[in-house]
Structure 1
Amino acid sequence: MENIDIGKKIERYRTAKGYSSRELAKMAEITPSMLSQIERGLANPSIQTLKVLAKALDVPTFSLLLEETNTEELVVKSKNRKKMVVENLSYELLSPDFTGTLATAILTVPPNTSSSDKLLEHKGEEVAFILEGKIKVFLNEEEYILETGDSVKIPSHMKHKWENNFDENAVILFSVTPPAF
């Protein structure tokens, strides 16, 4: 875990609000010297001081304690997608990874292929959107033909499978929460 630079966060919030150091110090009832030391990383504020600074800045206290997100790690260029092929089914992960509570992928199902021999279930809730082609989806005992532009929500633990009995690839965009493949 990286060190969290609380002082820099306070300074960013302060300048975004257009407050001078003196103004914020007065609002938070601390000395300008103390605020300066906090912003420069020379002093660690107490929880109480964090609370009053957060209140003066009109931000939640916890926002001062969160680690910074490296936004570069959130972007997935198409050429850098993680790809997996399992028994003719192709998966391309659109999410950077499987961390967090949501994963999104593209599933390509070639003609005369199914996702499994029998209906399967998993704990993740799923929403799927047909990008290209047609596909048959089995939801418990029911069957539905989905075409380009159609979508389906598959609740957690519902038995389901995909089956492509058509002449072209079916390309499906889907999201699962929590991630389960």
Structure 2
Amino acid sequence: MNILEVGAKIKQMRKKNKMSQDDLATQINLTKSHISKIENGKATPSLATLSKIAEIFDVPMAWFVIQDQFDGISIVSKKERNETVETNELGYQYELLANKSYMSNINPSIVTVHNGAENLAPYTHDNDEFIYVISGSITLKYDNKFYTLEEGDSAYFSGKKEHIFINNSEENSKVLTIYVED
């Protein structure tokens, strides 16, 4: 384990989560000074400390200590992309396209928009969202306006305004969705 790399990864996650050294120190019962030493490679975190930090940032502890075999790249082949979230209350099914959401502020997935989900309430979230219709056709209800998007069409919008996808096709529609965190 290279303590400089571990410290750099901790700092990366702390900054990504808009957290100060003092905030992190308070959550894991350390001093700000000790967090600074860890981030600068002047102190090695204990496994207990590393475990707490991993839990706070919702990443596997191994991410801090194991060299990524892809050197900063996440490749997910179609045959390995079987971690599909079950259909949710909106009538959507999500297929995660990257298994390293802790590496970046974007989260790509393929959303399958099922038939019969026309009377659902729009929702909001804190992220910007980019969508690209892979197949089929959807109506994007956004801020009480309706937009028809066909295969090949795309949209970029703030998730802070109410929105929902409604399928316009006889078959299920597929939409590439990328959430962009601030």
Tell me which interval the TM-score lies in, with the shorter structure as reference length: 0.5 to 0.7
SS in 2 for 1:90: strand
**Pair 1:154-2:152 in alignment:** no
Unmatched runs of 5 consecutive residues or more in structure 2: 6-41, 43-65
Normalised TM-score (structure 1) = 0.57
Whole-Å Cα distance in 2 between the matches of residues 156 and 134 of structure 1? 20
- Contact 1:112 1:165 (8 Å CA) reproduced: no
Deviation of residue 4 (structure 1)?
5.3
SS in 2 for 1:129: strand
Normalised TM-score (structure 2) = 0.57
AA partner of residue 135 (structure 2): E
Map of 1:163 onto structure 2 = 166
Whole-Å Cα distance in 1 between the matches of residues 180 and 153 of structure 2? 20
Which stretch has the larger CA shift, 73-82 or 125-134?
A: 73-82
- Contact 1:130 1:171 (8 Å CA) reproduced: yes
AA partner of residue 75 (structure 2): V
Map of 1:70 onto structure 2 = 69
SS in 1 for 2:79: helix
Whole-Å Cα distance in 2 between the matches of residues 3 and 167 of structure 1? 55
AA partner of residue 3 (structure 1): N
Unmatched runs of 5 consecutive residues or more in structure 1: 7-46, 48-66
Map of 1:85 onto structure 2 = 86
CA offset digits 1:95-141 (Å, max 9, x no partner):
11431311100001122225x82111100100000000000100111
Map of 1:103 onto structure 2 = 107
CA offset digits 1:2-61 (Å, max 9, x no partner):
31589xxxxxxxxxxxxxxxxxxxxxxxxxxxxxxxxxxxxxxxx9xxxxxxxxxxxxxx
Residue correspondence of structure 1 range 30-69 to structure 2 within 5 A = 69=68
| Aligned CA distance change for structure 1 residues 125 and 112 (closer, same or farther; 3 Å) | same
SS in 2 for 1:74: coil
Whole-Å Cα distance in 1 between the matches of residues 4 and 69 of structure 2? 14
Map of 1:3 onto structure 2 = 2
Which entry has the higher C-alpha Rg, 1 or 2?
A: 1
Identity in percent: 24
AA partner of residue 99 (structure 2): P
Deviation of residue 86 (structure 1)?
2.3
Whole-Å Cα distance in 1 between the matches of residues 100 and 67 of structure 2? 18
Whole-Å Cα distance in 1 between the matches of residues 159 and 143 of structure 2? 12
Whole-Å Cα distance in 2 between the matches of residues 4 and 125 of structure 1? 35
The aligned length equals 119
AA partner of residue 172 (structure 1): V
